[in-house]
Chains A and B, each alone.
Chain A
């Protein structure tokens, strides 16, 4: 929902903290998750992610969440799906070129990023979207990747 989405960006610092907590919890549970089997967990994980992130961020389930690099403003809500910052069409009032009634996702992102501890990740160049991951759980993928890459909990939240 648009209003909730804007609220989440206004509280990007809180969202960032909650995400770190969630990530460290999931990383602690990583061995258990691996035992249950990632394939078996994919559906319930994707379902809960869709519900929660759908409510808070209008998540589009791209499967490669970049919220921590976008000031907690989901960039897949940009009508041009821009992952790397605003286009040149942003209106003088900070609204979207394509949907004039909507605040530009990236204007919001820049505000959100400035309030966050690790918000300057907005300056990192994001890779092209992998459309084959659409609909899959970003959380499960990140936990799986991080748990294999490094045994100790990571510092920066990625999803």
Chain B
């Protein structure tokens, strides 16, 4: 295998008219296919193999891998670092940027660096508070918020300038994402908040974990009333719960996660709670897929990556579709 072939998958795909990025995720979404993204749990290690091992499992079954940015305010390998490793192996990534740890100077620099490495998607997040993580004594930055972060990157991409007005010679071609949490108060404001994110520049949305489909349906009704589903691709967050105990812990400790009592009782009543958690996740995916205006699912399986591929294949959402496998990994396997 020549070096050229090795680098081939990392090279940008041919540019398509009307597309803001050269990435795979935008293509899948714009072509109307049901998209699947999955979250990679970043290692507490400097070993690149740990990243590649986890990515290999996920890439089989998804259109893009999310590289989290110290989620839950816990320190791990950075999203920039993970994206650097993954893009050089040809994976499609969604780089998450949280406003908690860096100011606008650092973030704008990272956006240029990311685009230069081949990152095609950026998810703009406010970030969990530092109190939620392993270093509650850290200084929270929050110079920008998710909305102004979207505005900033859109300005860089579409107007070719930094926030300061200084010119950018080659703009970052990135598909812009934002988060939504339909499961937290004020519930009636949430659909309007989504409209605001679209106005600020969101091309796609990845939501918080959904364990409450009726609440999601009510949210999506309001989203469709505003015609937002035609302006933004809504990817709904899902994930397996390992046990009733884990569910209770998540509900109490992970900011923004809403788990109804009925879900916990279902797990509690099961012989094998882990299997039931997986089954529940598949059921949720199948229900969510049928809601009008939902463009895909985002699988977050904290410490249960081995289940992601089973969940996605058993739910049937990737039927008739073979996600691209990076050349480098084909060689390795």
Contact = CB atoms under 8 A, between A and B. Distances in A.
Interface of B: 99-100, 104, 126-129, 131-132, 140, 142-148, 151-152, 163, 179-181, 184-186, 188-189, 192-193, 195-196, 199-200, 208, 255-256, 258
Nearest to B104: A128
10 contacts: A83-B148, A84-B147, A87-B256, A88-B208, A89-B132, A89-B255, A98-B131, A111-B186, A123-B196, A125-B147
Nearest to B149: A128
Interface string A78-121: 01111111111111111001100000101100110000000000
A126 interface: yes
A88 B147 contact: no
Given A89-B255, A97-B256, A128 B144 contact: yes
A156 to B, nearest CB: 18
A123 B195 contact: yes
A155 interface: no
Contacts, number: 102
Interface of A: 79-94, 97-98, 104, 106-107, 110-111, 123, 125-129, 131
B147 A123 contact: no
Main DSSP-derived SS at the B contact region: loop
Contact of B129 (A93, A97, A107, A129): A97
Contacts of A107: 185-186
Contacts of A125: 147-148, 151, 196, 199-200
Main DSSP-derived SS at the A contact region: loop
B196 A85 contact: yes
Contacts of B189: 85-86, 106, 110
A75 to B, nearest CB: 9
A128 B148 contact: yes
B200 A92 contact: no
Contact of A88 (B144, B152, B195, B255): B255
B228 to A, nearest CB: 13
B56 to A, nearest CB: 30
B151 A128 contact: yes
A46 B185 CA distance: 35
A126 B197 CA distance: 11
B193 A85 contact: yes
Contacts of B151: 125, 127-128
B145 A94 contact: no
A129 B193 CA distance: 19
B148 A84 contact: yes
Contact of B126 (A80, A104, A123): A80
Select the residue from A81, A89, A98 with max chain B CB neighbours within 10 A: A89
A90 B184 contact: yes
3 shortest A-B CB distances, which residue pairs? A88-B181, A89-B255, A84-B147
